[in-house]
A and B are shown apart, each in its own frame.
Chain A
């Protein structure tokens, strides 16, 4: 995995360097025009946000039900932190697009509100781990499970409630000229996510080793 990180980073960097040319070649959307190009960064970050949430939730479930595995704990911590990073990109790029397309920065509809709540949940996970003291691993694992439970709610919210946000059916119906840059960016973001995730998990492992070594030195 240690060797895979530079390779994944290089692949992601190469793909992201080529991405502006593909996005530029994609036709502007008929009603929204140029601002729709934000889609090619907004959707991949939203997808990674949900993937991170699922990874964090599964790792939290394994931690809670599988005998408090330290590996599962490390995975949940890394995934929660990456959910914050990619969630931030999603929550910043969305209003920039909405300001031009809808005329407002933000609406308190089901999709936007549930996404914000989910993002704040990962902040609570991370803050709990940082300041919660002993036993915060179990509490944060509970928060991680709740975060994963929100994923289907956030995903289907656009189809169930009336909202300004486009429905999930938009993506499968994309013409190839818009689909190619989108999936190119999704793969690039996935590679970047995998590299950052491996890096963050390794930092957490070494930090635990360092704490154990310091505790041994004190004894």
Chain B
């Protein structure tokens, strides 16, 4: 009986060593009380709406300016043609 127990214990040593090696040093098991990584939503929502309003306002502004410039050029050309 002693021999059997000794054999089992000897066989178990490499298995235990392998199990210990399987967990790399520095990693810890999941703990419910540990703080979790959370990404705040508010900055993402703020950036999304800011990008939308800035893009639309910028496009409307550039269109308005382009329209004014082309109208001015056309009016100048027509005035020149009348002379």
Interface residues of A (CB under 8 A from B): 9, 16, 33-35, 37-38, 41-42, 45, 85, 88-89, 92-93, 96-97, 99-100, 192, 195-196, 199-200, 202-203, 206-207, 209-210, 213-214, 217
Contact = CB atoms under 8 A, between A and B. Distances in A.
Contact of B63 (A45, A99, A203, A213): A203
Ranked nearest first, the 6 interchain pairs of A and B with the lowest CB-CB distance are: A35-B41, A34-B41, A93-B48, A206-B70, A38-B48, A96-B44
Interface in B63-83: 63-64, 66-67, 70-71, 73-74, 77-78, 80-81
Interface residues of B, number: 27
Given A45-B52, A196-B63, A199-B64, A206 B45 contact: no
B16 interface: no
A100 B77 contact: no
B60 interface: yes
A203 B60 contact: no
A192 B41 contact: no
Contacts of A33: 41
Contacts, number: 79
A97 B44 contact: yes
B55 interface: yes
A214 B48 contact: no
Contacts of A200: 63
A202 B56 CA distance: 18
Nearest to B51: A92
B67 A206 contact: yes
Interface string B15-37: 00000000000000000000000
Contacts of A209: 74
A192 B63 CA distance: 13
Contact of A192 (B39, B51, B56): B56
